[in-house]
Amino acid sequence: MNIITKVVSYVLIIFIILSLNFFLPRMMPAGPLSDSGITSSNESVLEEYINYMVNLVHGELGWSTSRNAPVWDVLKESLKWTVLLVGTSTAIYVIAGILTGAVSAWKKGKKSDAGLLVLLISLASFPPFFLGMLFIVFLAWRLDIFPRFGAQTLFIDYSTPFGVVLDILHHLILPAATLTLTSIGVIYLLTRNSMLNVLGEDYILAARAKGLSEWYIMRKHALKNALLPIITMVALVAGFVITGTIFVETVFAYPGVGVLVYEAVQAHDYPLLQGAFLIIALAILAVNFIADMVYVHLDPRVREE
């Protein structure tokens, strides 16, 4: 598939998502519409639809009934925290996943391989919100070494700017750990499989025969070639992590876009829910699109087709 068809299909999907966002509340029984703040004027549906699209371009997403503020302002305020949380988690699980996967493949059949395998597969079986709740019970309340909620300590004066950063990091650790630990398994397994395939290749045997050190072979010959299939998977897991923030932010009351979904569902604040949904869906699409482009760039075979 060449780049143009890719771009076209992404544009089509964005269009479908925007349209769904418009039509969903209108297809549902009258219930949610009446008190939702979604316009129910006497314009025709087509006019409303065009207005909706024009407003979107101007960043107008409607009025949040629970926050009593424009949806876009609420989202803008939350976005930075979600970006921080997702960014940190993604960086950690990609690096840790590749490292553990490579170690596991290298030590295949040994105790360290089996240990990593069992541990990471078990962790992948935890719903993110449940692991987060366990962390809160044990690490935040019983041991009292991490903050219990939020992204910053409220009502506190920091003596130094360094103190602010430290406080934010302290609040970030548990939510980021929850997201990382529940999503690392996929990257780990894929790296492990990919490495095992590559390690069976003749050029690895040749490199060994040349007398190169095991570490050099792993780094330069094996890992480099094993990484290619991982890129698409990173995007897939990033989508999983972005969705996962809905649950993790809820558990930790972390003030990002994800917790807005929970709040909006509880308060029946449909405009806010739709706004948060749009941001989350577009973010996932963007990540996938970037991964597709990077993949085309890295693997000439895809370009040729």
Question: Which spans of this chain sit near another protein (rule: CB under 8 A)?
Answer: 9-10, 12-13, 16-17, 20-21, 24-25, 27-29, 32, 108-109, 113-114, 117, 121-122, 124-130, 133-134, 136-137, 140-141, 148, 193, 239, 243, 246-247, 250-251, 261-262, 264-266, 270, 273-274, 277, 280-281, 284-285, 288
| Amino acid found at 2 | N
- State in angstroms the smallest separation of the CB of 42 from another protein: 23
- State in angstroms the smallest separation of the CB of 136 from another protein: 5
d(CA 70, CA 79): 14
CB 60 within 8 A of CB 74: no
- State in angstroms the smallest separation of the CB of 255 from another protein: 16
Helices 111-124, 161-199: crossing angle, 10 deg rounding = 120
Closest to another protein by CB, 217 or 241: 241
Closest to another protein by CB, 55 or 122: 122
Beta bridge partners of residue 63, listed in sequence order: 70
d(CA 101, CA 196): 10
| Nearest alpha carbon to residue 52 among 38, 65, 67 | 38
Token representation of residue 193: 């499989």
d(CA 218, CA 238): 26
| Nearest alpha carbon to residue 285 among 5, 97, 7 | 7
Closest to another protein by CB, 17 or 294: 17
- State in angstroms the smallest separation of the CB of 213 from another protein: 26
- State in angstroms the smallest separation of the CB of 262 from another protein: 5
d(CA 242, CA 89): 10
Closest to another protein by CB, 131 or 222: 131
Closest to another protein by CB, 144 or 202: 144
Given the structure tokens 């087709």, which residue do they identify? Answer: 305
- State in angstroms the smallest separation of the CB of 158 from another protein: 27
CB 252 within 8 A of CB 136: yes
- State in angstroms the smallest separation of the CB of 200 from another protein: 10
Closest to another protein by CB, 88 or 183: 183
- State in angstroms the smallest separation of the CB of 124 from another protein: 7
Q: What length is written for the chain?
A: 305
Closest to another protein by CB, 151 or 261: 261
Neighbours of 34 (CB within 10 A): 9
Token representation of residue 237: 């897991």
Closest to another protein by CB, 79 or 164: 79
- State in angstroms the smallest separation of the CB of 209 from another protein: 24
Closest to another protein by CB, 124 or 164: 124
d(CA 282, CA 264): 19
Q: What's the number of CA atoms in the CB half-sphere (13 Å) around residue 244?
A: 29
| Nearest alpha carbon to residue 195 among 301, 104, 298 | 104
